Amino acid sequence: MQKYDVAIFGAGIVGAFIFDTLTLKGLKCVLIDKGEDVCLGASKANSGIIHAGYDCARDTLKAKFNVLGNKMYPEIAKRLGEPIGECGSLVVGDKDSLLILTELLNRGMYNGVKNLEILDRSGLEKLEKNLNKNIAYGLYAKDAKIISPYHFTIALVEESLLNGGEIKLNYNVNSIQRQNDGYLISDGKENFMANYIVNACAEGVNEIGSLVGEPAIPLTYTKGEYVLLDKDEFGLACRPIFPTPTKNSKGILACPTVNGNTFFGPTAEDIKEYETSVTLSGINKIKTSILKMIDNVNFKRIIKLYAGVRVKTGDDFYINFNENKNYFVIAGICSPGLSAAPAIAEYVANSLIEKGLQVKAIKFTPRRPYTNILKLSNQELSNLIKKDKNYGDIVCNCEKVTKGEILEVLNRTPFKLTTDGIKRRLRVTMGRCQGSFCYPRLIKIMADYYNCDEKEICFRGKESLIVCDIKEGGIYAE
């Protein structure tokens, strides 16, 4: 039976970072998720901001890991070949906001955040062109950055797989038994062993916890709705622009993405059950808040609405290592979870090593980013097309994604992807037409690649079939 040093449950950004960190330290790891892909929860629908760390309450895990994680990101981005926008962030407010901004600045300094500065209107205008006239002051945090949270999750998992990590998707674990020589993990079909269990399952944390015999952690859910704008609107906000925060939330922000879009959100609505629907009231809230902060907004250029859920447990992260059980639980990783994730992973790794796991040097295989024809010079692109003509065959016209790039991703991914999975990796169907031109062809290309019928291609989720067979006889068969 296969035996691992560590089994990590939950393939979000936290699980991915832990998986990759441990694998690169030479530990034999397996990443497990019940979904058909990595990054299907909060990691695919959040603001993508690496916060500076001024917002976290003093002396919290959030503050500690956020500030540490922020510093780690540029090097990780370089290693993975993923873009990172070192654009800083702004918290802006009206003429009465100076006190709150000063408190944020002080808190930031206490938390160990450097490069914080309060700007007046003229200072702000040098950075942003579309601020509402009522905006008088802003806290400029130069260390804040933007990334694509799903690109990072996917890249981290890929890097780990290249370096000896293993992954089990669609794995619905139903028993975890402690035995003398480790845990026996099973879904009723496939069994394996692991010495340590890391539970990074967000909303599923208690499902794993109960199998290990741990008491349930009380969870609450906060839904954040977003609107995504056409690339034409890029530049409305050159960096994340937050309103002055309230007790519950950092507020609805305007933010660019590393791919050249702009988004507004998130709302912060407490919900009873985990669900990611978008609501009329949420969208209206976004519109009202943004107009108080940003001018020249054209809501007609919205191309997509989406939502993500922050799973919380209390005010801080919940990170606990049960050394008797060899069981790590990382729960309640809401904002600034993305910022904190690499530092949390380092902490988990160090704790496991202290406990006795042996670090081994590995022969590091770097992860090469996916080909992006728009990032190549004309000469490079010409050469690439000469080698493989599919790189000259544009499938997604809005985002200029070629058949070659799609086949490359299908080839590189060791599990069957959905159209949504392709979208997150390559931006096919993510542009201004949202796939109305290329979706049919994408389904065809995927079916051809997987040597299956088009009706077996899914959108997202197991029951998410897209097309079906034509009924013989049609209307006349009735």
Q: Are 171 and 35 in contact (CB under 8 A)?
A: no
**Quick check: is 151 catalytic?**
no
- The pattern of x and - marking residues 352 through 391 that bind other proteins according to CB under 8 A reads ---------------------x----x--xx--xx--xx-
Does 473 sit near other proteins (CB under 8 A)? yes
Q: Which of 191, 277, 296, 322 binds other proteins (CB under 8 A)?
A: 277
Does 170 sit near other proteins (CB under 8 A)? no
Q: How far is the CB of 202 from other proteins (least distance, A)?
A: 17
230 to each of 39, 234, 259, 264, 417, how far by Cα in Å?
A: 24, 8, 11, 12, 26
Does 276 sit near other proteins (CB under 8 A)? yes
Does 172 sit near other proteins (CB under 8 A)? no
Residue 88 φ then ψ, to 5°? 75, 180
- The pattern of x and - marking residues 425 through 454 that bind other proteins according to CB under 8 A reads -------xxxxxx-xx--xx---------x
Q: Pick the stretch among 98-106, 190-198, 395-403, 409-417 that binds other proteins (CB under 8 A).
A: 395-403
Does 184 sit near other proteins (CB under 8 A)? no
Q: Pick the stretch among 83-91, 121-129, 397-405, 409-417 that binds other proteins (CB under 8 A).
A: 397-405
Q: How far is the CB of 138 from other proteins (least distance, A)?
A: 29
Structure tokens at 217: 């952690």
What number of chain residues touch other proteins (CB under 8 A)? 61
Annotate 180-196 with b (16+ C-beta within 10 A) or e (fewer): eebbbbbbeeeebbbbb
Q: How many C-beta atoms surround the C-beta of residue 40 within 10 A?
A: 23
Does 296 sit near other proteins (CB under 8 A)? no
Q: How many C-beta atoms surround the C-beta of residue 335 within 10 A?
A: 24
Does 470 sit near other proteins (CB under 8 A)? yes
> Amino acid letter at 59?
D
* Residue 160 Cα to chain centre, angstroms: 17
Q: Which of residues 195-254 bind other proteins (CB under 8 A)?
A: 227-228, 232
Q: Which of 305, 316, 372, 449 binds other proteins (CB under 8 A)?
A: 305
Element (H, E) at 150: helix 149-162
Catalytic residue chosen out of the listed positions 51, 64, 231, 367: 51
Measured between alpha carbons, how far is 139 from 88 in angstroms, rounded to an integer? 10
195 to each of 2, 24, 326, 460, how far by Cα in Å?
A: 12, 18, 7, 33
Does 280 sit near other proteins (CB under 8 A)? yes
Does 259 sit near other proteins (CB under 8 A)? no
Annotate 91-115 with b (16+ C-beta within 10 A) or e (fewer): bbbbeebbebbeebbebbeebebee
List active site positions: 51
Q: List interacting residues with other proteins (CB under 8 A).
A: 227-228, 232, 275-280, 283, 300, 302-306, 373, 378, 381-382, 385-386, 389-390, 392-394, 397-398, 400, 432-437, 439-440, 443-444, 454-455, 458-471, 473-475, 477-478
